[in-house]
Amino acid sequence: MLIVISPAKNLDYETPPVTDEHTTPEFIDDSKKLIAELRKLAPQDVSKLMGISDKLGTLNYDRYQAWKPTFNFKNAKQAVLAFNGDVYTGLQAENFKTNDFKFAQKHLRILSGLYGVLRPLDLMQPYRLEMGTKFGVGKAKNLYEFWGDKITDKLNEDLHAVKSNLLVNLASNEYFKAVQPKRLDAEVVTPAFKDWKNGEYKMISFFAKKARGLMSAYIIKNRITKASDLEGFDSEGYEYNASLSKPNAPVFTRKQ
């Protein structure tokens, strides 16, 4: 089984990492190409490109200027510990034990606009570049074209490494769009999470994002490798809902 999740906009480079184990991103040469183009943008151009405030535009302009192709603990942190959004609140990687990190390193992948595919322990320098950003490089009109087949090919390589034909998609639509399902050597299972509101089950963004992290942690800590075993997921009140589920699209619901 391979799990894919999205990155987060919020980052935490203040909290010391809970492990010294680390690896290096595998698409640094591609990241260098993106950084070279991003460095040409003025702070106000960064703000306009990403639809963010002038303050955030300046912050990320500074990040691009400071980015280096050499990664160490002075300028980087393991990706799974650096990201600090809703998914990662559910994942709680800071509580992983040594064997949890080992399993996650083999079975969890983070899709990234700048780094393509990150393993949990890949050192990552701070950045902001969402996959859906309309940022062209060379002949590529956007990041989907820039990454092309590379993300899918890498996922196939990692699937073969763990001898699995199952990919659990816990990423957002924006990020999973960078994957080419028809070229994957795997069956794709995409869980959904819904909460009871106003008399019906609805997908509420904040809760759904956190639940993706919760399920990722559930898979990692229970060493799950079969799709059918996902039905046992019961974190924070969620339960498998057979009546709402479809093949390869299990639905988990809860009433708060």
Summarised one tens digit per residue, pLDDT across range 52-95 is 999 999 999 999 999 999 999 999 999 999 999 999 999 999 99
Hey, what are 158's tokens?
Answer: 């990692």
Contacts of 138 (CB under 8 A, 6+ apart): 33, 146
Rounded to 5 degrees, φ, ψ at 32 are -60, -40
pLDDT single digits (tens) 106-135: 999 999 999 999 999 999 999 999 999 999
What is the predicted pLDDT for the residue at 125? 98
Residue 4 has a CB neighbour count (10 Å cut-off) of 23
Which residues does residue 168 pair with via DSSP β-bridges, in sequence order? 3, 189
CB-based contact 31:25 (threshold 8 Å): yes
pLDDT single digits (tens) 164-177: 999 999 999 999 99
Using the predicted structure, report yes or no on whether residue 256 has a pLDDT greater than 80. no
| pLDDT, mean over the chain | 97
pLDDT single digits (tens) 186-232: 999 999 999 999 999 999 999 999 999 999 999 999 999 999 999 99
What is the predicted pLDDT for the residue at 61? 98
Q: What share of the chain is helix, strand, coil (3-state, %, to 5)?
A: 40, 20, 40
Q: What is the mean pLDDT of residues 22-36?
A: 97
What is the predicted pLDDT for the residue at 236? 97
Using the predicted structure, report yes or no on whether residue 28 has a pLDDT greater than 90. yes
What is the predicted pLDDT for the residue at 209? 98
The residue type found at 102 is K
Domain residue spans in the chain?
2-23+77-254
H or E segment and range at residue 189:
strand 187-189
CB-based contact 201:244 (threshold 8 Å): yes
Using the predicted structure, report yes or no on whether residue 185 has a pLDDT greater than 80. yes
